[in-house]
Homo-oligomer: A and B are copies of this chain.
């Protein structure tokens, strides 16, 4: 069982609710919240934008336009006249601007899983040419499962193997003369731990490996500098901090110096150099468009573009750097307030306390000696009944967590996970959410909470 010690979590001075309100009033990013549909007439505190971002107000109208005007009236002509064919690259360019990448380097297509398959396959093929002895993919056991499943599949097919490390500190030593690719998710979906991309790219390159990053919990939440930090490949998700809607299309990026060498097996017709020649032989398109496979999902792309635009609207206000500063202030406030208001209930921080290592979420677990241990799901349900939406991840390996938690590799803990989305989460939301959490714990409301169906999309 995990053992733990409740350390003082914060160096920040204690605040009042009025001070939280004052922070919101002084926040130059505050107007960005007006871009969103606020559920229950602004009666819900939503701390799950790291799972599914809020609906931008622009989306519904834009979808009506695409459906009624472009599809209903324009029909097939809209592939050109309404710019449908260009959507994967046009929206790709917008996302690239959020990730330190250039125009023409990133494309929107398929799902994160499918894009991982394309890019990992392309990376392994390059290594097979350049360094055939490199047949190992290094990743973390705590990586999001789909990343591991795709890597398992490709490794099995290509006679490679997957080496999983149990903690971030073991990554560098796992890299060696046999490493083909270092494949990591930058922000861990359970702990919220943030990798230092630049130093890991440097370590991988020093070892002769290529790097593939999953930016699912990074894109739109914190600054990413794909080119400057020396990444080789990246994929990411459209439905979390990019606010693209449930199951939104994903993206794929390749370092420009590598793209011409990339062969990917999902050689669908819209990744062809001249799809409308209807040639019999596949010939990959120049540049990143070779990562497109089938026909672009126009309706989903239109919704994603509205979501991406909601982030680009922050550019005149400081952009991603300003959003990151606010995100850190929000998670710091959450950590501080939980430490103060929930003391005595055995809540432990499962996210890094250090700002530089924390993504845009705070994860908590109950000490095994706590009365509420094992009731994390019920606590999340009780919070939802009080109008605060966080989420829950069952049986997380303690070794994959961080913060003040200590345990052996086999220990498991249930996580309470609270994401902040600096585009729309306010300081007072965090303040009030912790007050509700304190009330749930003080009143033991989790004893009554209904155990409804568990599911959600991380």
Q: Which residues of A are in contact with B by a Cβ distance under 8 Å? A: 37, 39-40, 46, 48, 51-52, 54-55, 59-60, 63-64, 67-68, 70-73, 75-80, 84-85, 110-114, 117, 141, 144-146, 148-150, 152-154, 157, 164, 239, 245-250, 265-269, 272, 275-282, 293-301, 303, 384, 389, 391, 393-396, 452-458
Contacts and interface: CB of A to CB of B under 8 A. Distances in A.
Of residues A157, A267, A454, which shows the largest number of chain B Cβ atoms within 10 Å of its Cβ?
Answer: A267
Of residues A71, A239, A393, which shows the largest number of chain B Cβ atoms within 10 Å of its Cβ?
Answer: A71
A154 B300 CA distance: 28
Contact of A280 (B37, B141, B279): B141
B60 A67 contact: yes
Of residues A110, A113, A246, A296, which shows the largest number of chain B Cβ atoms within 10 Å of its Cβ?
Answer: A246
Contacts of A247: 84, 294-301
B150 A267 contact: yes
Contacts of A268: 111, 113-114, 146, 149-150
Contacts of A84: 246-247
A75 B40 CA distance: 11
A145 B280 contact: yes
A79 B297 CA distance: 20
Nearest to A304: B299
A363 to B, nearest CB: 14
A145 B80 CA distance: 21
Contacts of A265: 117, 153-154, 157
A299 B249 CA distance: 11
A110 B113 CA distance: 11
Contact of A276 (B68, B245, B280, B455): B455
Contacts of A113: 266, 268-269, 293-294
A245 B453 contact: no
A184 to B, nearest CB: 15
Of residues A37, A63, A278, which shows the largest number of chain B Cβ atoms within 10 Å of its Cβ?
Answer: A278
A389 B76 contact: yes
Given A37-B68, A46-B75, A55-B68, A267 B153 contact: yes
Contact of A60 (B68, B76, B117, B455): B68
Given A39-B75, A267-B153, A269-B146, A299 B111 contact: no
Contacts of A85: 455
Contacts of A393: 278
B110 A281 contact: no
A37 to B, nearest CB: 4
Given A52-B75, A75-B389, A113-B269, 19 more contacts: A37-B72, A39-B75, A54-B72, A60-B68, A63-B299, A64-B64, A70-B246, A71-B245, A76-B457, A84-B247, A114-B268, A141-B280, A146-B269, A148-B282, A149-B269, A276-B454, A277-B395, A278-B395, A299-B299
A232 to B, nearest CB: 22
Contact of A150 (B145, B266, B275): B266
Of residues A85, A164, A250, which shows the largest number of chain B Cβ atoms within 10 Å of its Cβ?
Answer: A85
Contacts of A51: 76
Given A265-B153, A280-B141, A110 B294 contact: yes
Nearest to A87: B247
A297 B71 contact: no
